[in-house]
Structure 1
Amino acid sequence: MRRRHFVTGLAGVTAGLGLGAVPQAATAVGASARQRLGRTAQGWQQAAVPPGAEAARLLKAAAAGPDCAWAVGEQARNGSAPGRPLAVHWDGAAWSHTDLTHLGFAGAVVEVAGTSPEAAWAIGGDTGDGSGHLLRWDGATWQDADFPGRGDAGTSLSAVTVADDGRAWAAGVHDGRARLLHWDGRVWRWLPPLPEGTAALWNVHLAPDGSVWVSRDAIARWDHRSWTVLPVPAGIRLTVTGLLPVAPDDAWAVGAAFGPGGPPGKPPSVVLARWNGTEWLSDREALPFTVGALHSIVGDARGRPALISGWDFWDGTRTHYLRRSGDGWTGERGPLAEGLTPMMTDLATVPGTDTVWAVGTTTRYSTQPPAQLRIERYG
């Protein structure tokens, strides 16, 4: 089965569709118009973002509490020309840029995870030499951290997750094999590789039982002794962009399936599948929309599925969220984005609250001007 990978559900969906780019005149919105955008009936509102370069996108977000959150991505990218890494921080009152110039690499920060103001990690990728950066938050900015194999050919990092006690796991490749890099609070060390050859990993998540799940070309669970490799959901040219493990026999996967091909501009279909311990079962038939893509899924305080961010092909002027309701999903629209086509690629719940951050870009074509950062907030 051939799959098309796109960076956190953003680049591949938009570039792969072949849809015509939105003219700049149609996508530009003045500051006064942005300020007028208010809450929707469901409680979503647009958050103010710090000004920055065009061709900007936020890829991932994490929150440690009401007064501390992070979002990371890339700015000033133009087609194949690499952009500049980007990180913004929420201090309880406003989002502001975090200086990354001292890191000295071009590309993007592709992942962030943190549970306290002093325990956060991020992953950066240098498009110049292909090297990976493991970044640690020191309470004010991001600093490069050393790890085994740093700078070596055949070693790369792509995702990271952090436990409440400060332990962390980064997904990547070492010695040409997909595996996890584990932080025990003192040192990083590589864990045994997946038994599935050189399968690439993209997402890494902690389950309520403490197991660590990874996904992209393979879906697997590490129980701190051995790997269990799961089948992937069925679909033609399917990409899993988000994963929510609940228990060994209960997990949710979201993404998009592009089908067997077709004319330029053909949109994908959404993917929502649930693992029952034996197989993946599709849960998309009763969704409010099925043409487009789903990007991120987060759980409630008990780890049960709660909210999904998505892109509705037929309603591109708002983000389309899906909220778990009973045994089904109900749709919620984000705030109206006048003249824009927002795409929110990640969700971050704020511990101890009902607040959720959603991050992304103002237009599906995030690698070209005039795309700007976009952040939406529930609660």
Structure 2
Amino acid sequence: MTSRSLRRVVVTGAGAALLAGLVLPGTSAAYAHADPTRPPALAESWLRTERVRLQGDSSLADVAGLSAGDVWAVGQQEIWDAWENRGAIAHWDGRAWTQVGIRNDDTGAGYLRSIAAAAANDLWTVGAGHDGLPYVAHGDGSGFDRVGIDQLRASDWLAGVSAVPGRMVTVGSRDRRPLIVTRTGAAWRVESMRDEGTLYGVSLTGKGDGFAVGDADGRPLIVRQSGGGAWKKVTAPRIRGGYLRDVHSDGPKQALAIGGVYRASGEISPLVLSWNGKRWSQVRLPDRDARLYGVTGDGKGTFWISGHDPGRPGEAFLLRHQGKETDVVRGESTSSSRTMRLQAVSHLPGTDDTVWAVGHVIDDKDAYTDVVERFGPKSPKALDEEPSAGTTPATRS
């Protein structure tokens, strides 16, 4: 069942001057609200809000879009009930959301954190099982089956997953060390790195390359795979208190990682790192109060970051980063006492700038409801396959 509304979007351009400091995904970040540094340039955009309508208090953690009629999301429902909470998988077919079950598992997932699609019939999701084991499931487009991996232990923790045809990688931690689980063809490899640390996000390309990110010893951690070889730690900016929570690679020469920096005051300031094929460098954005949770890209150098702005908590919040410019994308202003957090974002293949973001809304009674936000420029037809009557134009600066 789907609940939806279309509303205008305001995109605040901060251009090159917005390059001064960004925040993290799911925790917090510091942003000081600044006025746009250049005059607004108007362009039409649309934002559609809807719900999957999971049961009880619910939240969506990740989303993977293959086309306007094939989008997958995962998360958790009944999140406060220790006995009833369970992972959720939902599918958008172009007209409605439908929950999809896991066929061969009576215990079920307690929580699903990440989903990746190598193809319409090759999907992977990871999280935690009710039986205390890490949870891995594979989907063929019609349903999912739990996958048993003998080398995994009850103490292992899985956070992120990425997949390309013939290869899947999920990352997390084992005994306070980075854990990397790889499936190539039908073969599994489970490896724990030597030094302490935790990996939260991973992004692969189709050529055997990829990045995984996290934190170690109070600093950002980045590991890389090149040419299908071993994963190796790479040099990252040494930022005390820094951490990374998600990464998106548009190829071996372009990637963006997002996170935050814990300050001595207890505040968290934003952190975004950019890869140019040779080194990672910090992207500087204005000091603002925002939280960043997920990142995606279109394969052509444009990246989208999902998150939350505590200064304007009820509005949808995204960042659009391209080259040396970053725009703030906001949903319609609201005076309600709700809080919206967009935990993940996915670019829709074959479109210029259509993205799907998922997360949750918290109302004035602290009740959580899942939320899906779809943003698209130019024509609302890019949002889905339904008629788009009643669409409201937006301003973009």
Bin the TM-score by the shorter chain. 0.7 to 0.9
Residue 228 of structure 1 is matched in structure 2 by 232
CA distance in 2, matches of 1:184, 1:280: 28
In structure 2, relative to structure 1, the CA distance for the partners of 1:177 and 1:82 (3 Å cut) is: farther
The corresponding residue for 1:157 is 158
1:335/1:156 Cα in 2 relative to 1: closer, same or farther (>3 Å)?
Answer: same
C-alpha distance in 2 between matches for 1:174 and 1:119: 27
1:315 deviates by: 1.6
Amino acid in structure 1 at the alignment position of 2:262:
F
Shift of 1:138: 3.0
| Percentage of matched positions with identical amino acids | 24
Equivalent position to 1:199, from 197, 200, 213: 197
Q: Structure 2 residue aligned with 1:61, among 60, 63, 73? A: 63
- Structure number with the bigger relative contact order (C-alpha 8 A, sep ≥ 6) is 2
Task: Show CA shifts across 1:29-81 (max 9, x none).
Answer: xxxxxxxxxxx975242332232333211111111222211111112122888
Q: Give 1:201 shift.
A: 1.5
Change (3 A) 1:183 1:294: same
- Distance in 2 (alpha carbons) for counterparts of 1:225 and 1:171: 16
How far, CA to CA, are the matches of 1:143 and 1:337 in structure 2?
41
TM-score by length of 2: 0.73
Q: Is 1:352 aligned to residue 369 of structure 2?
A: no
1:113 Cα offset (Å): 0.4
Alignment correspondent of 1:29: none
Task: After superposing the two structures, state which structure 1 stretch, 326-335 or 271-280, moved more.
Answer: 271-280
Q: Distance in 2 between matches of 1:373 and 1:242?
A: 21
Change beyond 3 A, Cα 1:357–1:166: farther
Counterpart contact for 2:102–2:146, Cα < 8 Å: no
Q: Which residue of 2 aligns with 1:9?
A: 25
Q: Is the 8 A contact 2:298 2:349 kept in 1?
A: no
Root mean square deviation, CA, Å: 3.1
Residue of structure 2 equivalent to 1:17 = none
- The match for 1:315 among 307, 312, 317 is 312
Tell me if structure 2 keeps the 8 A contact 1:256–1:292: no
- 3-state SS of the aligned residue for 1:321? strand
Q: 1:115 aligns with which of 115, 118, 127?
A: 118
Aligned to 2:39: none
Matches within 5 A, 1:19-30: none
- Note if contact 2:249-2:256 (Cα within 8 Å) is conserved in structure 1: yes
> 1:361 is matched by which residue type in structure 2?
H
Q: Shift of residue 330 of structure 1? A: 1.5
Deviations along 1:190-211, whole A, 9 cap, x unmatched?
Answer: 16543x4242221110146531
Trace 1:298-377 onto structure 2 (pairs within 5 A). 298-302=296-300, 304-336=301-333, 339=336, 340-354=338-352, 355-363=354-362, 369-377=366-374
1:242 aligns with 246
The 1:258/1:79 distance shift into structure 2, 3 A limit, reads farther
Deviation at 1:160, TM superposition (A): 1.5
Structure 1 residue 351: deviation in Å?
1.5
8 Å contact kept, 1:64–1:115: no
Please report how far the alpha carbon of residue 273 of structure 1 lies from its aligned counterpart in structure 2 after TM superposition.
2.2
Q: Is the Cα–Cα contact under 8 Å of residues 114 and 127 in structure 2 kept in the other structure?
A: yes
User: 1:283: which partner in 2?
Assistant: 283
Structure 2's unaligned 5+ residue stretches are 1-23, 30-41, 216-220, 377-397
TM-score, normalised with respect to structure 1: 0.76
More strand by share: 2
Measure the CA separation in 1 of the matches of 2:191 and 2:53.
43
Please report how far the alpha carbon of residue 122 of structure 1 lies from its aligned counterpart in structure 2 after TM superposition. Answer: 0.4
Residue 240 of structure 1: SS of its match in structure 2?
strand
Of the structure 1 ranges 203-212 and 64-73, higher mean CA displacement relative to structure 2 is found in: 203-212
User: Is the CA contact 2:202–2:246 (under 8 Å) kept in the aligned structure 1?
Assistant: no
In the TM superposition, residue 373 of structure 1 has moved relative to its aligned partner by: 0.4
Q: What residue number does 1:22 align with? A: none
**What residue number does 2:379 align with?**
none
Choose 131-140 or 207-216, whichever is displaced more.
Answer: 207-216
Assess if the C-alpha contact under 8 Å between 1:74 and 1:85 holds in 2.
Answer: yes
Question: Offset of 1:112 from its aligned partner?
Answer: 0.4
Q: Is the 8 A contact 2:181 2:191 kept in 1?
A: no
Question: 1:270: which partner in 2?
Answer: 270
Deviations 1:310-347 (A, max 9, x none): 32232212122222345211121124455221110111
Q: Is the 8 A contact 1:238 1:256 kept in 2?
A: yes
Larger fraction in helix: 1
Cα 1:139–1:338 change in 2 (3 A) is farther
| Aligned partners of 1:319 and 1:344 also within 8 Å | yes
Which amino acid in the other structure matches residue 214 of structure 1? A
Given candidates 61, 73, 76, the residue that maps to 1:74 is 76
Q: 2: CA distance between counterparts of 1:298 and 1:43?
A: 19
How far has the Cα of 1:90 moved from its partner?
0.8
Paired residue total? 332
Q: Which residue is equivalent to 1:92?
A: 94
Q: Report the residue type matching 1:9 in the other structure.
A: P
